Structures are given as C-alpha cells and as structure tokens.
Amino acid sequence: MILVLSKSISPHDREMIRIYLHDRGFAIREQQLGNEVIIGATGKGVVDLRELGLLPGVERVAATAKPYELVSRETKPEDTIVTVGPVKIGGARISVIAGPCAVESKAQIMETAARVRESGAVMLRGGAYKPRTSPYAFQGLGMEGLEYMKAAGETYGMPIVTEVVSPELAVHMKDLTDMFQIGARNMQNFELLKKVGALGKPVLLKRGPSATIEEWLLSAEYLLASGTRDVVLCERGIRTFETYTRNTLDISAIPVVKSLAHLPVIVDPSHAVGIRAKVSPVALAAIAAGADGLTVEVHPHPDEALSDGPQSLYPEQFERLLRDIEAMAPVVGKELLRIPRPQTGLGEAVQPSVFVQQGAAGKVAFSGESGAYAEQALIRAFGEEASRLSVSSFSAVFDAVLDGSAVAGVVPVENSLAGSIHENYDLFLRYPDIGIVGELKLRIVHCLIAQAGATLESIRTVRSHPQGFAQCREFLLQHPSWQMETYANTATAVASIAREGVAPQGTLPRVAAIAGEAAAKEFGLHILKSGIETNPLNYTRFVIIARKIGDTAPVPPSLGSDKPNKASLVFSVSDTPGALFTCLQIVSEKDINISKLESRPIQGKPWRYLFYVDVNIPKTPGVFEAAMEALRSQTKDFRVLGSYHAPQGG
C-alpha cells in the first residue's frame, strides 16, 4: 500500500500518519519519488483505505497489486527520467553509454573516452573491479583504474558508470563514480543492494542471467526502498539452451517491463550476444522495441583487450551504430541525446551563448497549444523539463525569440508528404537577426479525435491545420460529405472541441479534429481512428531558431556541440543565362552535396525568385567557407540562414 502525502503536510500530521499505520501492524518506509513524498506500508496490517485517505496530509492512497510497490506504475503512472549529471535517461531521448569492459591503463581509457565521445556517447562505462568466472582472469585495476576513469570522464565531459561488487567498496567508490552499476551476478546480492541504495546515487541495475522479470523488479525495489530515487534497468540477455550467442537477448522484456514499471530500461547488446558482428543489429532491435538507451562495449584495440575483446566494437563500428540510431530515432518517436562538450582545450567546445547564461530558466517557444506536434519536437530537442512558451502563430515564435521572451524557438519547415512550409521560409527573410541552430525530424501519426461517443457516421465537420488536411487527403476523400474548418495548428483544433463541451443529451458529437495522440490526451478526448495519414512515411522537419550574436547564432547546450554538418542558404541571381548554373557549379567543384533546392517568388518583384538551398558541409576544414565566399561573389541577397548539426539519414 502506498500513501502519497500532500506537499504542504505538517511534520505533526506526517508523524501521526506513521503512528496510525504502525499501530495497525504495518512496516513503514518513507520515500521521495520524483516530486512526491510517499509512505510505503507493508505487512499483514488491516486498515480501511477510505478512512486512511481522510487523514490530514494524505493526498491519495493506492493499494498496489504488485509486490514491487515503489517500482510499479500503479504507484507512479508517468515515466521516471533518471538524471546523471547533464545526462537524462528516459523520456523522449535515447542515451548511449560506451566504453571498455575493463579499465586497463590510463592511456587506454583516455583514448576510448575520446573516441566514443566524438561519436556521440553521453556516458563512459568501464570496470575497475571485475567479477570473473576464473580466479586467474584479469580482475581489474581497482581504485587506481577508477581514478583513471574519473579523470577521463572529467576530461571529455561524460559522467561515468562502473560496477560495484561489495558493500565495503561502495563507500570508497562513492565520490569517484557518478553512477553505480550492479552487475548481473550481483542482482540478488541484497546486502549490496541495500548499501548502494542507501548511498543515494543513481544505479544501473542489470538483470541476472536466470532472473525472472519479477525478481529483477524486486531487486530494483530494494534500491528504491533503501533510499535512492534514480534506478535504470538494464536487460543484458538471459541464459537459455542456445549456445551460439553468449546469452539470449530477451527483447520482449523491454515493452513488458515498461508497462509494469516507471523506471527507464536500457539494453546491453554486447553481453547479450557476445559476438562483435552481431552487436549492432541487436542494438538497433532494442531501440525499435522501445529501449531508452544502450550500454555498449567499445575498445580502441579489441584484439588486445584483457576482458571481453570478442564482443567489443571498434570505434569505427560504434560511430556507424550511432549514425544508424540517429536515423532510426524519429521512427520510434525519440531523439538521440547529445550533451555539450566541456571547455578543455583538447578540442572544439560548445560556444558561450545566451543559452549557457540563462540555463534551464530560458523558455523555448512553439506555435500552438499543449499537445501540438511542435511541442513534441521541442521536447525531443530540449527534454521534458524544458520551460515552454506557447504562442499563437509561427511569426509569434520569431517575435518571442527576437524580443528575448524565449531563448529559442521550434518551427516546422518541411513535410515529407506535403512539401515545404513556405510561410516559415519567408519569415527568415523578415527576421534577419534569427538563425537556424539545429534540426530534427518528427514522425507524424495523425488521429481523428472527437468527444467520447462520436462515431465516423456522426461526424459532419473536421478541424485541422491545412497541412493536416493535406497529409490525410486519401482518408478524407472517403468521407466527401465532411466540411473542413481550418485552424492555426492541429492542437488548437482539438482544444476548440474540448472547450465546446459535450454534445447535447440524446445527440452524438458531430465535430472532429485531425491531430496527434498527445493532443487527444492533453484535452481528454477520444481517438476515433489512428494512423489516418496517407503515407506512414510521414515526417515533418523542424528547425530550432535562435537570435544571432554577431554573424552566428548560439548552439543550445541541449543539442550538444557536434560540428555543423548542414547549412541552409538563400540567395537570388542576376537575370542572365547560366547564372544559377554558375552557382551550382561552384558547389559541385567543392564536392558539396545539395540536399534541397527550391525557388520562391520575391515579394514586390514579379517573376524574380529567391533560391533556398540546403547543403551538406564537408568534413575537410575550409572547403565550405571557401565555397560560401565564391557564392557570395556570384549572387545577390546572399545569406546563410544557419550552419548546424542535422541527424544522419536525412
């Protein structure tokens, strides 16, 4: 049984609740879970739940059907997001942890950290203490190895996670690690779980090779009950009759556990298969199944590794895996997490900006109401904790960024089915002090949404944004009698139905809206039909905008500090034969790929056009800059709208 306490409860009322439960035969433990203070009451005591709910300071009472009360979704329906330094595990992000199986030397862990950080890992893993089957195998460097690992993490701006193998060592390791790992062999070492939980640090809990899901979740319960709030579950394969792979990845455990527990779930594909060539396919399958992240073994020289070399990826393989995950992420409704690089002098660091100065307090603007697709894109880019500013139109997003009401904005510029959103391309011309600092692609799954009780036959009017209608054209053609009403955005269309209230008694609702599932949940409406878009390959490209400082716009820390790989340009050319060809030839000769070329009429100048161009920035230093200077000399009204990092695969 769980009691959620009121945030304003007095110390006296809290103590009276404890006495009340103790006198009725319950064992009591108090726990901070997310933003809520709860009391877990276990044992054979008997109490009337209605009477308990009336006690001063009790907000609600939940009698859980699961033995793992603190872990259960019955206690906490929303997902927990675990914070480890700048890293958020869970929610709309995919977090990737990488490093060697064991720390072998300072040089080895430094080289590995540099390589995995460059590829996109956000945390560094590695064993200082290695529980091995054979007493003669390499057991790790102990505290010396942990100190090497801590130094590597600080140098490259990554929190570290390492395995703890005994309660005694946990205390000594506390200040040197950012996250404890409980290995598969120790999943049911209950004294270790209690000790580590009491230290209050985040914990990565691996599933035992022969453990059931319930046993795994009960081990997590030990950690939460002992004091820690942040636990990440790690599926790493179970022991079956199959001998070809090291273990058998129980991929079904990912959706099962996520339905039972509110804790984030990641996967260790390295231990799951034990074969280097199979790690990446299994990792991608885990992401497709809903995993919140991965922990992957990477070694700069796997053939020389002292532990688990055959399952460790080469850095080049890891880089390719991260690119594949980045391309897959929008399909599963997530974004690959990036974090800023530290100011170390060892490489390019995130540039100082208004984002750094204002930190998390800075608002990010989007057009629409809660539940809008733009808000979902905002969450992917900046995280669930981002402070949001809802405005009424796309131009209002630009206004908010320009006047400082928001430090950044999120606007759509292109849809894979309906094409460019020209209004926003034109806004870049009206706001020359605004630049593009990032992009992401959001998969758009449209739903027909109405009040409860509505049917397809009862609907007479459908509301949405014009893009929503365009993307669901074939579905709408099946209902030619429906009248279309245009709204500023899809979420506002849903909100309008909610505000009109339920249909009069005896009549069925006659108005529906086309929007996403999030909007239906936000306004408490019913989904009549899901997936009504004409083509399931329906993606909208959103760009993140910020106010320029000098000639460039600052990069938000939430986007990390990846070197720009894409740029958006706009220019016009003289009305002479071959003028545009000359511009394209400049780009071609520099071996720069054009990913988009589109013309737009120049307002006030009939039959004159601006060209919007997206190009991929070469890795070779100086090539892009030289091409831009050459283009500037051959064009009119030349502007770089932004140089930014775009996810691979699009």
Q: CATH code at 522?
A: 3.40.190.10
Same domain for 623 and 497, yes or no, is no
Residue 44 lies in a domain: yes
pLDDT in tens, 204-244: 999 999 999 999 999 999 999 898 989 999 999 999 999 99
Q: Which of the two residues, 171 and 136, has the higher pLDDT score? A: 171
Average pLDDT of the segment spanning 611-632: 93
Q: Which domain holds residue 611?
A: 562-650
Residue 325 lies in a domain: yes
- The pTM is what? 0.80
* pLDDT-based confidence at residue 342 (cuts at 50, 70, 90): low
- At 486, give phi and psi (nearest 5°): -85, 135
Helix, strand, or coil (residue 635): coil
Task: Give the E-state strand segments of 211-292 in sequence order.
Answer: 231-235, 265-267
pLDDT in tens, 385-415: 889 999 999 999 999 999 999 999 999 999 9
Least confident range from 267-271, 345-349, 504-508, 616-620: namely: 345-349
pLDDT in tens, 139-160: 889 999 999 999 999 999 999 9
CA–CA distance, 486 with 468 (Å, rounded to integer): 9
Percent of the chain with pLDDT over 90: 68
Same domain for 49 and 96, yes or no, is no
Q: Which residues of 616-641 are buried (b: 16+ CB within 10 A; e: fewer)?
A: bbeeeeeebeebbebbeebbeebbbb
pLDDT in tens, 417-462: 888 998 999 999 899 999 999 999 999 999 999 999 999 999 999 9
How does strand 36-42 pair with strand 447-450? unpaired
Task: Give the E-state strand segments of 166-275 in sequence order.
Answer: 179-182, 203-206, 231-235, 265-267
Catalytic residue among 540, 571, 611, 624: 540
Same domain for 184 and 320, yes or no, is yes
Cα 46 off chain centre by:
43
Please give, one letter per residue, the 3-state secondary structure of 277-339.
HHHHHHHHHHHHCCCCEEEEEECCCHHHCCCCHHHCECHHHHHHHHHHHHHHHHHHCCEECCC
Same domain for 54 and 134, yes or no, is no
Residue 189 lies in a domain: yes
* pLDDT score for 351: 39
Average pLDDT of the segment spanning 258-282: 97
Residue 606 lies in a domain: yes
Query: Which residue's structure tokens are 């769980």?
Result: 2
Q: Which of the two residues, 257 and 39, has the higher pLDDT score? A: 257
The CATH code of the domain that includes 569 is 3.30.70.260
Most confident of 20-34, 207-221, 504-518, 557-571: 207-221
Same domain for 58 and 96, yes or no, is no
Percent of the chain with pLDDT over 70: 93
Residue 405 tokens, joined: 């009401």
Average pLDDT of the segment spanning 543-562: 72
Burial degree of 458 (CB within 10 A; 0-12, 13-18, 19+): middle
Same domain for 184 and 306, yes or no, is yes
Same domain for 122 and 247, yes or no, is yes
Same domain for 135 and 22, yes or no, is no
User: What mean pLDDT value characterizes the chain?
Assistant: 89
Same domain for 604 and 482, yes or no, is no
Residue 567 pairs in a beta bridge with: 615, 643
**Active site includes 542?**
yes
How many other C-beta atoms can be found within 10 angstroms of the C-beta atom of residue 344? 11
Average pLDDT of the segment spanning 285-290: 97
Give every CB contact of residue 612 below 8 A, 6+ residues apart in sequence. 420, 425, 568, 569, 570, 596, 597, 598, 599, 600
Residue 539 lies in a domain: no
Residue 416 tokens, joined: 């894979």
Element (H, E) at 93: strand 93-99
Give every CB contact of residue 382 below 8 A, 6+ residues apart in sequence. 364, 408, 556, 558
Residue 84 lies in a domain: no
* pLDDT score for 550: 64
- DSSP for 572-590, please give it: E--SSTTHHHHHHHHHHHT
How does strand 265-267 pair with strand 231-235? parallel
* pLDDT-based confidence at residue 282 (cuts at 50, 70, 90): very high
The CATH code of the domain that includes 47 is 3.30.70.1140
Same domain for 465 and 506, yes or no, is yes
* pLDDT-based confidence at residue 645 (cuts at 50, 70, 90): confident
Residue 292 lies in a domain: yes
Same domain for 123 and 40, yes or no, is no
How many other C-beta atoms can be found within 10 angstroms of the C-beta atom of residue 62? 16
Domain boundary among 280, 306, 336: 336
**Active site includes 540?**
yes
Residue 172 lies in a domain: yes
Average pLDDT of the segment spanning 363-387: 91
* pLDDT score for 398: 96
Count of domains forming the chain: 4
The CATH code of the domain that includes 158 is 3.20.20.70
Residue 305 has pLDDT above 60, yes or no: yes
Domain boundary among 336, 357, 390: 336
Q: Which of the two residues, 290 and 27, has the higher pLDDT score? A: 290
Same domain for 124 and 27, yes or no, is no
Q: Which of the two residues, 414 and 49, has the higher pLDDT score? A: 414
CA–CA distance, 111 with 300 (Å, rounded to integer): 7
Evaluated on CA atoms 501, 502, 504, 508, the torsion sign reads positive
* pLDDT score for 341: 67
* pLDDT score for 76: 85
Cα 380 off chain centre by:
5
Catalytic residue among 318, 366, 469, 542: 542
CA–CA distance, 470 with 417 (Å, rounded to integer): 8
Of all residues in the chain, what percent are helix, strand and coil, respectively (each to 5)? 35, 25, 40
Using left for φ > 0, alpha for ψ between -120 and 50, and beta otherwise, residue 28 falls in beta
